[in-house]
């Protein structure tokens, strides 16, 4: 465990990623405070020193190594670093965006947080606007360029929703926009992208030097599900909503030690899914048994929701007793939420679990059928490990943590304070 003072770690929050960045910063403060206090307790016992004196000696050591010549905080406790880098974002009349960094970042390890899927109004300049994914993308690019021009040692992008990730394979005369964006970031000298449950790992294969850290929300999702489901004793079957999600659902089935079923769907790709009521699915068949069982389905992304609603309706008609769905990126594009309201009233499903990786309006968060799995602590720990050049592998192997959770056979009410991906209350 590294307890190094992260004085060279900086977080830049783009307008769309402001709320998620605030949560990450809060968890980083908690994380480093606990590391500092744990280290102090260890030294205090080892050298038989009063804990207060240990704090003073550790802070003295930091002061001796610091380039500052003025007071930088109390000597008797932990001094919280200033992680967040202040920036000014300006939108010109013709739609151009400019990012200006308001303090030095020379030699810093910068992580730029942007939620490109955020459809809630955000402050840009002197007004609040609802920005498109392309607007969010330009604020991300101008922020990365500003940091690099200002002399940042390393720039990484924190993109919970990887932009244009559904454009990753060709069926006709179309572009591979997902990989093209990665190459743009790579040519800008961006070092790394941290994302969540990317739509296809094929995207990473087009990069040469850019690293992609693909985090998984499976532990956080099952932790949330355990608040209303008995994951151990429930007569549960995991159903993959399509062939593309089979690996993801196989992981859940293996981790929960439950059977796996597959919903096979045929699509008419000459049609485009416009909303939840008008999808391009022509037929569907279920390979498996769901009668009188609780069904758990997992997918990476929820757009208009038409595919998922049709799947839930079909499974309910086949005799499923209860249906719970999880999505890492709950976009709820267009009027998707209203279609889910109707589906819930019709009894087609019980809950949808989505992560907070996408900023959602309060009217969706307050729906009785929606539950939120918090992944900001997962991103904070990944940022900390990358900053200190440590492996992120412990964050990617969620199976061991899931097994520890299931072994308790009870609902988890409190945080595991020193787990790698547990959700502890952050310091504000």
Same-domain pairing of 52 and 114: yes
pTM of the model: 0.88
User: What are the Cα distances from residue 144, in Å, to 50, 58, 137, 153?
Assistant: 45, 35, 11, 12
Same-domain pairing of 234 and 324: yes
Residue 380 covered by a domain: yes
Residue 405 covered by a domain: no
Residue 410 covered by a domain: no
Same-domain pairing of 259 and 326: yes
Residue 159 covered by a domain: yes
Residue 117 covered by a domain: yes
Number of structural domains (the chain) is 2
Same-domain pairing of 170 and 274: no
Can you read off the two tokens belonging to residue 191? 């070092």
Same-domain pairing of 151 and 272: no
Distance CA 315, CA 294 (A): 10
- Residue 262 carries which DSSP code? E
In which band, very low, low, confident or very high, does the pLDDT at 354 lie, cut at 50, 70 and 90?
A: very high
In which band, very low, low, confident or very high, does the pLDDT at 427 lie, cut at 50, 70 and 90?
A: low
User: What are the Cα distances from residue 55, in Å, to 81, 142, 251, 390?
Assistant: 16, 41, 44, 25
Report the pLDDT value the prediction gives residue 278, as an integer from 0 to 100: 55
Distance CA 271, CA 232 (A): 41
What angle is formed at CA 202 by the lines to CA 153 and CA 193, rounded to 5 degrees? 20
Can you read off the two tokens belonging to residue 388? 């200190």
| 326, 354 Cβ separation under 8 angstroms | yes
* pLDDT tens-place string over residues 188-214: 999 999 999 988 877 888 888 899 999
Percent pLDDT > 90 in the chain is 54
Same-domain pairing of 159 and 209: yes
In which band, very low, low, confident or very high, does the pLDDT at 60 lie, cut at 50, 70 and 90?
A: confident
Distance CA 225, CA 275 (A): 27
Best CA proximity match to 83, nearest among 108, 58, 63, 65 = 108
Same-domain pairing of 9 and 84: yes
Residue 404 covered by a domain: no
- Average pLDDT on 39-44 reads 89
Residue 401 covered by a domain: no
CATH number for 121: 3.40.50.2020
Same-domain pairing of 154 and 232: no
Pick the most confident of 32-46, 62-76, 141-155.
Answer: 141-155
In which band, very low, low, confident or very high, does the pLDDT at 104 lie, cut at 50, 70 and 90?
A: very high
Residue 345 covered by a domain: yes
Distance CA 75, CA 4 (A): 17
Distance CA 128, CA 123 (A): 4
Distance CA 156, CA 388 (A): 14
What angle is formed at CA 25 by the lines to CA 211 and CA 111, rounded to 5 degrees? 25
Same-domain pairing of 176 and 34: yes
- Average pLDDT on 368-380 reads 96
Report the pLDDT value the prediction gives residue 174, as an integer from 0 to 100: 81
Best CA proximity match to 185, nearest among 132, 116, 118, 123 = 116
Can you read off the two tokens belonging to residue 408? 């308790």
H/E element holding 326? strand 322-330
* pLDDT tens-place string over residues 288-334: 899 999 999 999 999 888 888 988 998 999 899 999 999 999 999 88
Strand pairing partners for 197?
none
Same-domain pairing of 29 and 124: yes
Report the pLDDT value the prediction gives residue 199, as an integer from 0 to 100: 83
H/E element holding 54? helix 51-65
| 197, 396 Cβ separation under 8 angstroms | no
- Longest CA–CA separation in the chain, Å: 74
| 334, 302 Cβ separation under 8 angstroms | no
Q: 382 lies in which domain range?
A: 1-217+375-396
Same-domain pairing of 213 and 223: no
Same-domain pairing of 239 and 348: yes
């Amino acid at each position: 465990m590294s307890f190094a003072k992260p004085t060279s770690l900086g977080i830049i929050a783009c307008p769309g990623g402001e709320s998620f960045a605030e949560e990450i910063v809060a968890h980083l403060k908690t994380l480093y405070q606990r590391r500092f206090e744990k280290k102090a307790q260890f030294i205090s016992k080892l050298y038989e020193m009063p804990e207060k004196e240990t704090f003073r000696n550790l802070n003295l050591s930091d002061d001796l190594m610091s380039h500052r010549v003025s007071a930088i905080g109390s000597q008797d406790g932990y001094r919280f670093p200033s992680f967040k880098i202040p920036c000014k974002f300006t939108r010109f009349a013709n739609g151009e965006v400019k990012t200006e960094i308001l303090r030095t970042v020379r030699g810093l390890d910068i992580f730029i947080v942007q939620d490109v899927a955020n459809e809630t109004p955000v402050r840009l300049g002197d007004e609040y606007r609802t920005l498109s994914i392309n607007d969010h993308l330009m604020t991300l690019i101008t922020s990365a360029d500003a940091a690099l021009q200002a002399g940042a040692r390393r720039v990484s992008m924190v993109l919970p929703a990887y932009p244009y990730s559904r454009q990753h394979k060709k069926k006709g005369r179309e572009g591979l926009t997902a990989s093209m964006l990665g190459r743009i970031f790579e040519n800008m000298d961006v070092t790394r992208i941290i994302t969540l449950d990317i739509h296809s790992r094929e995207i990473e294969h087009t990069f040469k030097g850019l690293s992609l850290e693909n985090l998984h929300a499976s532990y956080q999702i099952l932790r949330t599900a355990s608040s209303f489901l008995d994951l151990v004793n429930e007569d549960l079957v995991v159903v993959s909503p399509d062939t593309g999600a089979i690996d993801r659902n196989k992981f859940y089935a293996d981790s929960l030690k439950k059977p796996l079923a597959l919903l096979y769907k045929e699509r008419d790709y000459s049609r485009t899914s416009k909303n939840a009521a008008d999808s391009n699915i022509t037929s569907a068949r279920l390979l498996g048994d769901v009668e009188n069982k609780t069904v758990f389905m997992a997918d990476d992304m929820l757009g208009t929701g038409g595919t998922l609603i049709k799947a839930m309706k079909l499974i309910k008609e086949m005799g499923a007793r209860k249906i719970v769905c999880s999505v890492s990126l709950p976009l709820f594009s267009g009027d998707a939420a209203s279609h889910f309201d109707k589906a819930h009233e019709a009894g087609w499903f019980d809950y949808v679990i989505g992560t907070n990786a996408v900023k959602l309006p309060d009217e969706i968060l307050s729906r009785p059928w929606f539950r939120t799995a918090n992944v900001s602590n997962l991103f904070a720990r990944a940022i900390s490990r990358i900053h200190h050049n440590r492996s992120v592998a412990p964050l990617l192997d969620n199976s061991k943590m899931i097994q520890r959770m299931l072994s308790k056979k009870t609902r988890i009410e409190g945080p595991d304070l020193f787990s790698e991906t547990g959700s502890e209350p952050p310091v504000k």
